[in-house]
Amino acid sequence: MLQLRFCPAACVRPQKLILISGVTDITPDTTQDVQHYEKRFKDYLMHQVDLESVYEHVLPGSGSPELTTLHSEGGATVDYIFYSPKRTSTKNQMACKKISEKGLKLLGYLSLLSEDLLWSMNGLPNHIFPSDHLSLVARFQMELDN
């Protein structure tokens, strides 16, 4: 499959393809003013939902990023498991009702892999991982009030 993506025929421009600058060639369209994200949007959406990611997004020890998908351009983290963690609060915080003690306790999760390790298995999908995304699995504990 990898050979098909990078075969020489894929790199040849069809003779009858109409030239549209910035679309059917490799020249970027300079008519549009490239702006940073902050300049394009003047308003931001914020929330008070207390969510935390199951994953650290960096592999312990190596400092390499954890990946959830890998393709020909490289790997990325695009899949997440978010949860509301159980917080412990001080007496002062409980009096002010600023922190809720209800939530989930993370018991464990399935580790993700590094880009180097996934490339050593011929990328994604492969004979071990049949999808182009890795599975995300987490186990939580929820304490119920009686």
pLDDT in tens, 41-69: 566 667 788 889 999 989 988 889 999 99
Q: Does residue 76 fall inside a structural domain?
A: yes
Q: How many CA atoms lie within 13 A of 100 on its CB side?
A: 10
C-beta separation of 49 from 83 below 8 A = no
If one compares 20 and 108, the residue with the highest pLDDT of the two is: 108
Provide the mean pLDDT of the chain.
77
Closest by CA position to 87, among listed 97, 98, 106, 102: 102
Q: Does residue 64 fall inside a structural domain?
A: yes
Return the pLDDT at 37: 46
17 has a pLDDT exceeding 50: yes
C-beta separation of 63 from 111 below 8 A = no
Return the pLDDT at 49: 83
Sorting pLDDT into bands at 50, 70 and 90, what band is 118? Answer: very high
Q: Does residue 37 fall inside a structural domain?
A: no
Q: Does residue 41 fall inside a structural domain?
A: no
Task: Using a pLDDT cut of 90, give the percent of the chain over it.
Answer: 37
C-beta separation of 123 from 74 below 8 A = no
Q: Does residue 139 fall inside a structural domain?
A: yes
Parallel, antiparallel or unpaired: strands 69-71 and 104-109? unpaired
Q: Does residue 3 fall inside a structural domain?
A: no
pTM over 0.75: no
Domain count, the chain: 1
Q: Does residue 130 fall inside a structural domain?
A: yes
Q: Does residue 9 fall inside a structural domain?
A: no
Average pLDDT for residues 7-20, to the nearest whole number?
Answer: 69
Name the residue range of residue 68's domain.
Answer: 51-146
64-82 residue pLDDT tens: 999 999 988 888 999 999 9
Q: What Cα–Cα distance (Å) separates residue 78 from each residue in 68, 75, 98, 102?
A: 6, 9, 31, 28
Query: Which residue type, as a one-letter code, is found at position 128?
Result: I
